[in-house]
């Protein structure tokens, strides 16, 4: 019997995390751990996905990337249940809608940078127990310094200064983790899902759809699937989207 691939996705109850769960759970050999801050929302999302008759298996894990106790308990749970982790999709993120000033900066960096780093570091020992580990940071083209400086880039005119700063920091973190972990067989990626439907901008339809411009997050999930299947191994250590490499 083939060993299951154990995959943890943070922020899994909505947006890119939810869609990625759907896509990865369509493969019978995958077990998806849905990491969710709010277990009630996580259970609702899990039930919805179970109703689509996934081929893989799914479980729910309380994981708040801003809470060190929650992170420690999540590590204990995954260790007890699986004693390894094959893939970490570090997806939890926010643009802190409805806030401004120091409060906005604090929330964005707390989740997008500090939370992503602390969760990743905490799970690295379990990734190192895998025969084929992957660490995927869900970033954004808005964090590309190259594209922010290029007037011809579609990312050039966007505002969102605080969010862009956080994703640039996340990209640097990804580079540093890749340099440290590549000799230990961990394939590290920064992945841009593109502009897709997500509640990170707010809960209204206008915010979720980005004024009707946002695409289907299932496309992002398929991009992450390609990484998990090993189709993008040659680009490990890079900043990529579903179509290819992006400039840092």
The string of pLDDT tens digits covering residues 72-89 is 999 999 999 999 999 999
| CA-closest candidate to residue 58, choices 71, 73, 43, 70 | 43
So what's the pLDDT on residue 1? 54
- Give the per-residue SS3 of 164-223: HHHHHHHHHHHHHHHHHHHHHCCEEEEECCCCECCHHHCCCHHHHCCCCCCECHHHHHHH
Domains, the chain, ranges and CATH? 5-240 (3.40.50.720)
So what's the pLDDT on residue 32? 98
- Output the pTM of the full model: 0.95
In three-state secondary structure terms, 106 is: helix
The string of pLDDT tens digits covering residues 18-41 is 999 999 999 999 999 999 999 999
Mean per-residue pLDDT, 186-207: 86
More confident residue, 235 or 3: 235
């Amino acid at each position: 019997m083939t060993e299951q691939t154990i995959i943890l996705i943070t922020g899994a109850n909505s947006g890119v995390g939810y869609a990625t769960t759907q896509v990865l759970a369509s493969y019978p050999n995958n077990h998806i751990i849905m990491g969710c801050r709010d277990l009630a929302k996580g259970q609702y999302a899990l039930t919805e996905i179970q109703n689509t008759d996934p081929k893989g298996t799914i479980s729910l894990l309380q994981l708040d990337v801003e809470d060190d106790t929650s992170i420690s308990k999540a590590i204990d749970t995954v260790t007890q249940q699986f004693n390894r982790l094959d893939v970490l999709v570090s997806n939890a993120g926010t643009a802190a809608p409805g806030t401004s000033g120091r409060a906005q900066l604090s929330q964005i960096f707390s989740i997008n940078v500090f939370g992503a780093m602390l969760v990743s570091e905490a799970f690295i020992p379990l990734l190192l127990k895998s025969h084929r580990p992957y660490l995927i940071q869900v970033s954004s083209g808005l964090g590309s310094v190259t594209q922010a400086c290029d007037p011809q880039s579609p990312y050039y005119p966007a505002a969102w200064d605080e969010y862009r700063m956080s994703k640039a920091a996340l990209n640097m973190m990804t580079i540093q983790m890749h340099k440290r972990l590549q000799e230990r067989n961990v394939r590290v990626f920064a992945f841009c899902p593109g502009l897709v439907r997500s509640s990170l901008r707010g809960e209204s339809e206008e915010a979720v759809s980005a004024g009707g411009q946002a695409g289907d997050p299932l496309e992002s999930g398929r991009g992450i699937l390609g990484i998990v299947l090993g189709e993008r191994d040659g680009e490990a250590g890079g900043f990529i989207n579903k179509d290819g490499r992006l400039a840092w």
